[in-house]
Structure 1
Amino acid sequence: MEFQYYLPVNLVFGKGKSLFIGEKAAALGKKAMIVTGGSSTKRSGLLGKTGEQLRDKNIPYVIFDKVTPNPLTTTVLEGAAIAQAEGCDVVIALGGGSSIDAAKGIAFQAVNGDDINDYIFGRKSSDKALPIIAVPTTCGTGSEGNGFAVMTNPESKDKKSLRCSAIVPACSIIDPLLMATMPKDILASVGFDALCHNIDGYISSIAQPMTDILALEGARLAINCLKKVYANPTDMEGWEGLCLASTLGGMVINTAGVTALHGMEHPVSGLKDVVHGRGLAALAPAVFEESIKGDPKKFTILSRLLGGRDENDFMDKINELIHELKLNTTLGDMGIKNDDVDWLAENCMKVSAASIANHPVVFSVEDLKRIYRKAI
């Protein structure tokens, strides 16, 4: 048995831990940029409370609140230019995965300059970025637990992740109290994403003992706790478990990567700007149906976590969960047409070649086209 596992992230987990944002920021920098979306952290009061904490610690700050779902490379460039001009030396992400990923991109771009797309596609590399504090308000992407930042180039529609150890957050504050006001449709989507991260990493051909341990616990928590909080949003123990599942999923894919499900969804949301978790739910039945034969042992274990007996029950159980969460949808419902399939398959091989290569069944371009059509 040989493996290497390295992930330098400081996780601060627990109810009320968002009260320590100012303290952590003061230890990392002298002027902060807060990166967030346009409304949710304002409505919840988190943005205002973070500002109060920073003022109490005598940390001046600027707010960049232009992040949208499926964050754009152009937004990252705009935020980085402001961070440079304002002399910010620490970046605080408040919000869902989009805000955290955008903050990571801004922290990286502010130090490195040049075209961030060159770094995303590996034509250039760097191990430098401003320190990042991640404060997630949704429990799905796990971006608080890894060195990935997914963003979309609005010109090419390429949705791909910047990957770099320097953008692993210097501190991630995971406070389950910040999650409990999520609408049920958003909860279903992000919770399913958390589950799929753990599944993707578990079945990956580059999985290893540490990631298997994390992924199985993450999947177990995601399955059990997502159902709990979806049925009862006041179940704080359920929120704690789901938050941990999300973070574990992010940690898993940092080492084991994602596989075909995520690899195939990224072109969909890159092209049509769909909600990522719903895109996963639309593709999951078609992708998993053709994947079980690649690793029946692991799909047996996953099936049992879902309440099944062996790999033969997995599809029934994952479809039951999708329906229970009201995520049953198709790519056609999201505006994908048969005319888009060739582009989707080719773009998948462009932006997600590693994810396809790591899948337990390695799909060809023609396989991808067939699966996309099945999901329409």
Structure 2
Amino acid sequence: MEFQYHLPVNLLFGRGKSDAVGEKAAALGKRALIVTGGSSAKRSGLLAKVEGLLREKGVSSVLFDKVKPNPLTTTVYDGAALAAAEGCDLVIAVGGGSSIDAAKGIAFQTVNGGDINDFIFGRKVSTAALPLIALPTTCGTGSEGNGFAVMTNPQTLDKKSLRCNAIVPACSIIDPLLMTTMPQSTLACVGFDALCHNMEAYLSALAQPLTTIQALEGIRLCAQSLCQVYEDPSDLEGWERLTLASTLGGMVINSAGVAAPHSLEHPASGLKDIVHGKGLAALTPLIFEQSIGGAPEKFALISKLLGGRDEKDCAETIRELLSKLDLTTTLGEQGISEADVDWLAENCLKISAAGLSNHPLVFGLEEIKRIYREAI
């Protein structure tokens, strides 16, 4: 048995821990760029709270609130330009995975400059970025627990992740109380994303003992909590379990990577800007159905953890879960058409070759096209 596991992330987990953001920021810098979306952090009062906690500890702040779902490389450039102009020495992400990913990109771009796509595609390498604090308000991407930052190039529509230890948050403050204001539809999407991270990392060819332990626990926690919290948002213990499952999913893909569902979904949301969790919901059962022979014992265990019997009903068990979350959908319902299939499949091979190679069965171009057509 041989493996390597390295993940230099500092997690502060628990109800009310967001109160520590000022103290943690003061240890890292004096002027923070707060990166968030346009409205939810403001509406909930969290943004004002964070700004106040920073002031109490002597940290000034500048607001960058231009982040949209499926963040763009151009947004990262805009945020980095503001951080540089304002002399920021620290970045604080407040929001969901899009805000955290954009903040990671901004922290990296501020220091490195140039074309960030060179780093995304591995043509250049850097180990430098501004320190980052992540304050997640959704339990899905797990971006608080890894060195990935997914973003879309609006010129090519390539949706791909920047990956390096420099953008692992210096501190991630994971407060389950911040999750409870999510709309029900958002919860369904991000919760299923968290489940997929754990399932795909467990199935991955890069899985090793530590990632397997984390991934199986993440699947178990999702199975315990996702539908319960969806039906009863006052269940704080359920929020804790689901939030931990999300963070575990982020951590585990840092080492084991993702597999075919994420590999096929990224081109779809890159092309049509669809909600990531809905894209995964349209694709995952179909992909798993056609992958059972590659790792029947693993699909059997996934099924059992989710309430099924064995590998034969794994896909159907996932469909039943999606139905309970009102997340049953198709790519066609998300705006994808037959005319998009060739581009999607070719882009998938271009940007997601690593994830495809991790899957228990490695799909070729025509098989990928067939899955896309079935998902429409």
TM-score class, shorter-chain normalisation, is: over 0.9
Q: Is 1:296 aligned to residue 318 of structure 2? A: no
Q: Is 1:318 aligned to residue 318 of structure 2? A: yes
Q: Which residue of 1 aligns with 2:165?
A: 165
Gaps of 5+ in 1: none
Task: Supply the distance in 2 between the matched residues of 1:191 and 1:155 (Cα, whole angstroms).
Answer: 30
Task: Supply the distance in 2 between the matched residues of 1:193 and 1:224 (Cα, whole angstroms).
Answer: 15
Q: How far off its partner does 1:357 sit?
A: 0.8
Deviations 1:250-296 (A, max 9, x none): 00000000011001000000000000000000111211111111100
Task: Supply the distance in 1 between the matched residues of 2:183 and 2:5 (Cα, whole angstroms).
Answer: 36
On the 8 A contact 2:21/2:50 being kept in 1, the answer is yes
1:1-376 paired onto structure 2 within 5 Å: 1-376=1-376
Q: How far off its partner does 1:308 sit?
A: 1.5
Amino acid at match of 1:128: A
Task: Supply the distance in 2 between the matched residues of 1:169 and 1:37 (Cα, whole angstroms).
Answer: 19
Task: Supply the distance in 2 between the matched residues of 1:64 and 1:246 (Cα, whole angstroms).
Answer: 25
Q: How far off its partner does 1:334 sit?
A: 0.8
Task: Supply the distance in 1 between the matched residues of 2:232 and 2:274 (Cα, whole angstroms).
Answer: 27
State the secondary structure of the residue aligned to 1:134. Answer: strand
Q: How far off its partner does 1:309 sit?
A: 1.8
State the secondary structure of the residue aligned to 2:151. Answer: strand
State the secondary structure of the residue aligned to 1:28. Answer: coil
Q: How far off its partner does 1:300 sit?
A: 0.8
Amino acid at match of 1:307: G
Task: Supply the distance in 2 between the matched residues of 1:310 and 1:289 (Cα, whole angstroms).
Answer: 12
Q: How far off its partner does 1:307 sit?
A: 1.1
Deviations 1:61-102 (A, max 9, x none): 100000000000000000001101111011000000000000
Task: Supply the distance in 1 between the matched residues of 2:236 and 2:286 (Cα, whole angstroms).
Answer: 34
On the 8 A contact 2:37/2:68 being kept in 1, the answer is yes
Q: How far off its partner does 1:232 sit?
A: 0.4
State the secondary structure of the residue aligned to 2:27. Answer: helix
Q: How far off its partner does 1:326 sit?
A: 0.7
State the secondary structure of the residue aligned to 2:12. Answer: strand
Q: How far off its partner does 1:53 sit?
A: 0.6
Amino acid at match of 1:105: G
Task: Supply the distance in 1 between the matched residues of 2:291 and 2:325 (Cα, whole angstroms).
Answer: 23
Task: Supply the distance in 1 between the matched residues of 2:338 and 2:264 (Cα, whole angstroms).
Answer: 15
So what's the TM-score if we normalise by structure 2?
0.99
Gaps of 5+ in 2: none
State the secondary structure of the residue aligned to 2:58. Answer: coil
Task: Supply the distance in 2 between the matched residues of 1:93 and 1:181 (Cα, whole angstroms).
Answer: 17
Task: Supply the distance in 1 between the matched residues of 2:249 and 2:188 (Cα, whole angstroms).
Answer: 16
